[in-house]
Structure 1
Amino acid sequence: MKRKLTMLAMAAAVSTAHAAVERIQVVERVPFAPGVTFGEYGAYEKIRGIAYYALDPKAAANASIVDLKKAPRDKQGRVLFSSEFVLLRPTAAQPTTLLYDVNNRGNIAILGQVNGRSPANNDPATAADAGDGFLMRHGFSLLFSAWTWDVAPTAPAAGTAPRPLVFAPPVAKGVKGKVQNEFTVNAPTDIVTYAGMRGLTYEPATPNDPHAQLTERARQGDQRKPIPRSAWRFVEPELKGGPGRVQLEGGFKPDTIYEITYVARDPYVTGAGLAGIRDLLSYFRDHPFEGAPAPRNVLMFGISQSGRLIGRMMHDGLNVDEGGKLVFSGAYLQVPGAGGSAGFNSRFAQPTRHPSMMEEHDYPADAFPFTSAPTRDSATGKTASTLDKARDKQGKLPKLFYANTSTEFWNRGASLIATTPDGERDVAPAENVRVYGFMGAQHYVGRSNKRAPFTACVSTTDHYLPMRALIVALDDWTVKGKQPPASAYPQLADGTLTTVADYRAIFPKGLGITPPEQNLREPRLNFGRRFDTQGIADTVPPKHGDDFETRVPTPDADGNDKGGVRLVELQAPLGTHTGWNLRAPDTGFAWATSRFDGSFVPFARTEAERVAAGDPRPSLEARYANRDAYVAAVRTAAGQQVAAGLLLPEDVERSLKENVGLYDRILARDPSDQGCDYLFAR
C-alpha cells in the first residue's frame, strides 16, 4: 500500500511556480500513525517531498544572502537549489495552523520535547513516533525541511535507514578564504576531528596543507602557542563524507584548547537555506496543497541552534518574502541564549558551531543588537534592535516568544536579550515580544543518571510542560488576538538578575557544590571591515574587543533562582536546581561549566540528617508534614501555573506524577549514596 501511494504521489507532483518556489515534488504520501485518531482532528498523514527553488540575486529580498551573486546561475540568471521536506497533517481537508519546526542538525526536534518521543530514524511514521500526540490533538500541521549542510554522517545501525534532513546549498565556486576550527578532548587521544559538535567543516583547499597552523592554549584569553607543523598531520575522515581529522605526535590532551587554521575554498551559500525556509513557508501560506486548503495560520518553532536561526532570519529580513509579506505570523525561539543575531549567513559559515564557557569564542554566533527594542551600544555608539529589518511592507512584525532556561544565563549570554550591552540596565521587550525565563531548568530536560562527566547530578525540572502551554498560547495570540502570558524573566530592577560575584556570595554553603567563577561573557569580535556589511571575514581568527556584560539569576536562600517563570519544581521544591554544573577535573577545564546541564542537590529528608550534613536548607520534614502535604503543595503550584497560562490543565497530572515520584525516590534513597539513579523513574 505504501509503495502504491508513493508512486501515485510522485505522479501527482505539483509543478506550479510561486515566488521563489519553482515546483513541489511529492515523493511519498502515506498514513501517519496508522489506526490512530487524534481527538477532533482525526487521522494524520505524512507527505514527503522536494521543493525546488530559484533565487534572483538581483532581487532586493535576496540582497542579504551572502555570496548569492557568486553562485552558478541558469539561463535566466537565477540560482537553483532544492530541499527535502516532511509534512504531517490531518487527513480531513480543513484549515489548520502550520507549525514549521526548524530541524536541529538535521533532526526533527519538536516531537521529542513537546510530544515526548523523537521519531525513530528521524522519520515520523508510527503511533510510537507521535508520543502522546499533543501537537496532533491540538490540530497543528507540522512541517520540517532541510536548511543546513554541516551535519556529519553517522554509521547506520543494523536494519535502520537514518534520514537526516540535510541541505545541498549553492556553492560560490573558486572563492577562497581562511578558516579556523577550535576543538578540545575529554581524554587523551592521538587523532581527533576538528569540526564543530556532530558537524562538518570546510576542509583545506590544499590536501594536507603544509601552511596550515595548529595552536594550543589553556584558556580563551591566553596567547596561542604554535605546534610545529612537523609534529602533526591531517588524517582521512573516519566515515566517507565525514569531517577531516588531525593526528598529533604525543597525542592531544584534556585541559587544552586546540585551534587549526588553513585556507579553504568553495564556500556554501549557507544563507540560501534560510531563504529556502522563507519561500517554502510563503508557498504553503498561500496555496492549497494536495487536496487541503491553505493553513489558517503559519508559525515557526526552533530549539537552541534552530531558535537562533529564526533570530538570524529576522535580523536579515528573511522572514519577509519577495512580495513583502510576513511568511510566519508568530515564532517561538526556545533556548536561543543571546538570540542568534550572527552566524548562519556569512562566508564559510558553519551553523553547528556556537560559543559556551570554554570553547568557540571566535565563532560569530551572537552579536549586537540583542534586544527586540532599540538599544544603544555605548562601545560603538550604534543604536539598533534585532527586528530592524523584520517588518513587512505594511510595517507589521511577527509575534514572538523567547524562552531561556537558567543554563542559558550561565552558558549562552541569555541576559543580553533584555539588558543593555554593558549589563547595567533592563531593556523592556518590544510590544510584539514576550520573554520567559524557566528558572532552575537546564538546556534540555535532564535525563542522565550519572554525574560524569560533571561534578553534580543534573537538574530534574521539566520545562517542556510550559513549552506546550506557550505553543498553544502563541497560536491563540496570532489567530484570536488572545493575550499570552506576561513576560516573566530575571531583571536588574527587581534584584532577580545579578553578577556572578554576587551570586557566589549569596549561594548557600554546605551543599557540596560550588558556583562557577564566571558565566559566558559574550565576546565582541572584529573580523575586519567587510564582515558586518558583506559577511566576509578578513581577520581570522578575529580580534577581540571588550566582552559584552552578561548577568545571571539571583539565588534565594535555598540556592534556587529568583524571578522568571516559577516552575512547579521551584514553587514546591525538593532541593536546589541550578543552571550550571561544573566539569569533572579528569575531563579537563574543571573551572568551566557543562555546555547544557544544570545541577540538582536534594534537601535532607529529616532535620537530624540536615544537621549531621551541615546543610543550611530546611529539610523535607520541616517543609512538608507528610506526603499528602507535599502532594497538596504540588497541586497548588500547578494551579498557579495554570492560572498564569504556563501549564495546561491536561498536564497537571503529569506534573504531579513527576514531582511526587521524585519525592518518593528521595525518601527511599540512602543519603550516603551519591549516585544519581534516583533522579528519574525507571
Structure 2
Amino acid sequence: MKKSRIPALRAIAAAALAVAAPAHAAVERIEITERAPFAPGVKFGEAGEYEKLRGIAHFALNPKATPNLPIVDLKRAPRDKRGMVRFSSEFVLLRPVHGRSTTLVYDVNNRGGIAMLGQINGKSPKNNDPTTAEDAGDGFLMRHGFSMLFSAWTWDVAPQPAGARPLVFKPPVAKGVRGMVANEFIVNAAAEVATYAGMRGLTYEPATADDPHAVLTERASQGGERKVLPRARWHFVAPEQAGGPGRIKLERGFQPGAIYEVRYEAKDPRVSGAGLAGIRDLLAYFRDNPVEDAMPPKNVLVFGISQSARVIGRMLHDGLNVDEQGRLAFDGAFLQVPGAGGSAGFNSRFVQPTRHPSMLEEHDYPADAFPFTSLPSRDPLTGRSASTLDKAKDKRGRLPKIVIANTSTEFWNRGASLLTTAPDGSGDVGPAANVRVYGFMGAQHYVGRSRTRAPFTACVSTSNHYLPMRALMLALDAWTSKGTLPPASAYPRVEDGTLVTVEAYRKAFPAVPGIAPPAQNLRQPRLDFGARFPLQGIADIVPPQQKVPYETRVPAPDADGNDRGGVRLVEMQAPLGTHTGWNLRAPETGFAGFTSRFDGSFVPFARTEAERKAGNDPRPSLEARYANREAFLAATRAAAERQLAARLLLQEDVERIIAERAGLYDRIMARDPAEQGCNYLFAAP
C-alpha cells in the first residue's frame, strides 16, 4: 500500500501524536498511528481524493458525572488517582484530502466489522481494512463528501482469520464481581460438541474451570419444560481456536429440534456500557477538535445496521447520546433494521451484545423492553407511560433527528411493529416530530445472497432496499444540516388495516405454491430479571421469569402475497413474484415451522397462464400482467419514477434498479419451473 509522503521526522511524530482534549472532555488524547492515501490516485467526484487515518483514542470517564451514571458497573471499574476510569479504543477515519468535509458519519461496527460500506456503497472492505478503490464499492459516500469514522465498542467478537482487522473493544472490568449467566444454543445437525456463545461471538466462561455445579438443560420449545441433563454426561472443552468461545461435549451428542441452555457462575463482568460512552465521546471529540490539519465537521451523524442500530437505540434510551458537557454528541441517527429498537441490551451486568431474540431463539435474553415508541405510550400491564427519547435531550432541550427503517423480516422476527403501536398492539402511536419511520415491504434483513434453500424451505428474497437507504442517508444529512424535511414516514398501520395479527395474515395470504405462512411471529418477551435489573442492570433471576408478552403485528398481504403499506419498493409495484419477510426452517433442522432470523422468501409468478393453471397458482401469470418484456420494463420505470418523486430513490439509481429487474425477468423467463435451485435469482458473476 502506498504511504503518504510525509517527511521521516513527521511520520515518526505522527505515529505517536498525542492530541490533548479540553480538560473536561472524556477523550483525553488521540494517537495517530497511520496516515495514508485511501484508494491512491482515485478522485471521488467533487470530493476528490480520500485518505485513511488509523489511531487510538484514550478515554477517562468520571463515574460520578451525571451523564455517566447510566453506565452499569462503571463505579466498580478500576480508577486512577484522580478517580477516573480509563480505557482506549482503536479508530479508523476516511476523509477527503482537500477541503472540509461538512458531515462526519460514524458507522457503529457490527461484531467488529465495518458495516455501512457494504450496504450503502455495495462493497465491504477486505479484511475490515478499507484501503483500495475496490473497498470503496461504487464510492457513494465518498462522492457525496462524507467523512467516515469507525471505532471499537464491543468486546464479544470471536477470533477472525489471520489478516483480518476487526475493531474489538477492551472495556474496563469490574473485578471480583460474580453472577449467574445463561447461554442458549441449538444445532442444525447432530453434533457431539457445540459452542454455546452467540452468533460469531464470545461469552462469559465459567468462573470455575469445568464448573461441576453448572447446569445443562434441553427443552423442545421456548415455553417448554427444561429437562436437566446429568452432569456426568457432559463437560466443558477448550475453544476450537485460541481466544474463541468455549464448547461443551455431550455424551450421545446434541440433536436438532432441542433448545439447550447452560447456566453457571461467571466473574469479572466487562463494563460494556463504556463502549457506548466511547462512541459518544469520540464523536464529541471529532465534533469539537481539528484532527491532523482538518477542521471539525459542521454536522455529525451516526449509522447502525441490525445489532449496531440497536446500540444507537440503547444510547438514546439511556441518554448516552448527550456528552459530559450536556451537548448532543450527534445531530442525527440512522437506525437500519433495529427491530423493536434495542432498549434493553448492551448496558447491563454480564451482558453479551452478540445475542438477541428471534421467533425461535433466546427469548430469555434482554434485548428490547418498554418503552418502544418515540412519543409517550402507556403500558396497560404496568400503567407506566414513557418514550424512548425521555432521556435523550441535551441541556437546551434538543433531540437528534432520527431515521428508523425496518424490513418485513423485522416485523416477523424482531417485534418491529412495537415502534409505532401501543404495547398491546391495540392501536397506532405515531413517531415524534424528530423521527421518521419507514418499513421496506417485501424486503428481508439484508439483500438476499443465498443460492440454496437450505437450511430453509424457500429461496430468499432479493428485494433491494439498499437503494432507498442511500436516498434516506442524503435526506438525513439535509435534515440535520439544512433543515430540509425528509420524506414522510411510511410504515404499516393498524388504523388502515395494513398492520394485522398473524391470524389475519394467514387468512389473507394466497395459496402460493410451495410456501405457507408461519403460525406465529415473535411476540416480544416481557422479562423479569428481578427488582435491581430495570435501574441497575443487575439480574437476580437467571433465567428470567417470563410475563405476559408484548403484542406484535405483521404487514398485511395483498392478493399476490406481497406486503401492503409502508414503502412499496419498485419490486412490489411491478412484481415478478411474491416476496415475504419470512422463510421457514427446513424439517431436518428440527424446527420446522419456525422462521429464519434474517431471511425472507421469493416465489416467482408462473410465466404463462397455462403454467399457472397447471401449478394451481392463484396469482396471475407474468403473461397476464405484462404483454411482453417491454411492458414489464415500462411498469418498472414508472414505479422507479414514483419512488424518485417520493424521494425514496435517487436519480443515479433509477437505471440501476431497472437493469436489476430486467435481469431477473430474463432469468425467470429462461428458467425451467421444475428447477428448485435458487441460482436464477442472481446474475452470472
Please indicate the TM-score interval, normalised by the length of the shorter structure.
over 0.9
Can you give the 5+ residue segments of structure 1 that lack an aligned partner in the other structure? none
Q: Match for residue 119 of structure 1?
A: 125
Over 3 Å counting, the alpha-carbon distance change for 1:155 and 1:404 in structure 2 is same
Match of 1:99 among 64, 82, 105: 105
Q: Match for residue 332 of structure 2?
A: 330
Match of 2:137 among 111, 131, 134: 131
Match of 1:547 among 535, 546, 549: 549
Q: Match for residue 15 of structure 1?
A: 20
Q: 1:17, 1:23 within 8 Å by CA — same for their partners in 2?
A: no
Q: Secondary structure at the match of 1:2?
A: coil
Query: Aligned AA for 1:298?
Result: V
* Superposed CA offset, 1:536-585 (max 9, x none): 00000000100100000000000000000010000000000000000011
* Superposed CA offset, 1:36-77 (max 9, x none): 000000000000000000000111010000000000000000
Query: Aligned AA for 2:418?
Result: L
Q: Match for residue 147 of structure 2?
A: 141
Q: Shift of residue 4 of structure 1? A: 7.1
* Superposed CA offset, 1:166-192 (max 9, x none): 000000000000000000000000001
Q: Match for residue 598 of structure 1?
A: 600
Q: Secondary structure at the match of 2:334?
A: strand
Match status 1:209 vs 2:211? yes
Match of 2:435 among 418, 433, 440: 433
Q: Secondary structure at the match of 1:80?
A: strand
Match of 1:234 among 230, 233, 236: 236
Q: Match for residue 45 of structure 1?
A: 51
* Aligned ranges 1:290-309 → 2 under 5 Å: 290-309=292-311
Q: Secondary structure at the match of 2:375?
A: coil
State the distance in 1 between where 2:4 and 2:410 align.
45
Q: Match for residue 396 of structure 1?
A: 398
State the distance in 2 between where 1:101 and 1:483 align.
23
Query: Aligned AA for 1:289?
Result: V
State the distance in 1 between where 2:72 and 2:615 align.
59
Query: Aligned AA for 1:56?
Result: N
Match of 2:423 among 417, 421, 424: 421
State the distance in 2 between where 1:575 and 1:358 align.
27
Q: Provide the TM-score with structure 1 as the length reference.
A: 0.99
Q: Shift of residue 288 of structure 1? A: 1.2
Q: Match for residue 66 of structure 2?
A: 60
State the distance in 2 between where 1:236 and 1:7 align.
42
Q: Match for residue 3 of structure 2?
A: 2
State the distance in 1 between where 2:296 and 2:200 align.
36
* Aligned ranges 1:282-321 → 2 under 5 Å: 282-321=284-323
Report how many residues are paired.
678
Q: Shift of residue 16 of structure 1? A: 3.6
Q: Secondary structure at the match of 2:631?
A: helix
* Superposed CA offset, 1:587-631 (max 9, x none): 121110000000000000011111111100000001011111111
Q: Match for residue 179 of structure 2?
A: 177
State the distance in 1 between where 2:459 and 2:662 align.
19
Q: Secondary structure at the match of 1:143?
A: strand
State the distance in 2 between where 1:286 and 1:54 align.
17
Q: Shift of residue 12 of structure 1? A: 3.6
Q: Shift of residue 444 of structure 1? A: 0.1
Q: Match for residue 377 of structure 1?
A: 379
Q: 1:7, 1:28 within 8 Å by CA — same for their partners in 2?
A: no
Over 3 Å counting, the alpha-carbon distance change for 1:24 and 1:17 in structure 2 is farther
State the distance in 2 between where 1:466 and 1:40 align.
23
State the distance in 1 between where 2:341 and 2:107 align.
17
State the distance in 2 between where 1:296 and 1:127 align.
27
* Aligned ranges 1:167-566 → 2 under 5 Å: 167-566=169-568
**Percentage of identical aligned residues:** 72
Q: Provide the TM-score with structure 2 as the length reference.
A: 0.98
Match status 1:70 vs 2:76? yes
Q: Match for residue 576 of structure 2?
A: 574
Q: 2:492, 2:565 within 8 Å by CA — same for their partners in 1?
A: yes
Q: 1:15, 1:25 within 8 Å by CA — same for their partners in 2?
A: no
Query: Aligned AA for 1:2?
Result: K
State the distance in 2 between where 1:204 and 1:11 align.
39
Query: Aligned AA for 2:627?
Result: A
Can you give the 5+ residue segments of structure 2 that lack an aligned partner in the other structure? none
State the distance in 1 between where 2:251 and 2:142 align.
55
Query: Aligned AA for 2:608?
Result: T
Q: 2:316, 2:391 within 8 Å by CA — same for their partners in 1?
A: yes
Q: Shift of residue 96 of structure 1? A: 1.9
Q: 1:315, 1:389 within 8 Å by CA — same for their partners in 2?
A: yes
Q: 1:338, 1:370 within 8 Å by CA — same for their partners in 2?
A: yes
State the distance in 2 between where 1:510 and 1:348 align.
45
Q: 2:182, 2:262 within 8 Å by CA — same for their partners in 1?
A: yes
Q: 1:405, 1:437 within 8 Å by CA — same for their partners in 2?
A: yes
Q: 2:17, 2:30 within 8 Å by CA — same for their partners in 1?
A: no
Query: Aligned AA for 2:605?
Result: F
Q: Secondary structure at the match of 2:567?
A: coil
Q: 1:560, 1:577 within 8 Å by CA — same for their partners in 2?
A: yes
Q: Shift of residue 155 of structure 1? A: 3.4
Q: Shift of residue 15 of structure 1? A: 3.2
State the distance in 1 between where 2:100 and 2:250 align.
60
* Superposed CA offset, 1:85-135 (max 9, x none): 000000013142000000000000000111010000000000000000000
State the distance in 1 between where 2:558 and 2:21 align.
59
Q: 2:222, 2:361 within 8 Å by CA — same for their partners in 1?
A: yes
Q: Match for residue 25 of structure 1?
A: 31
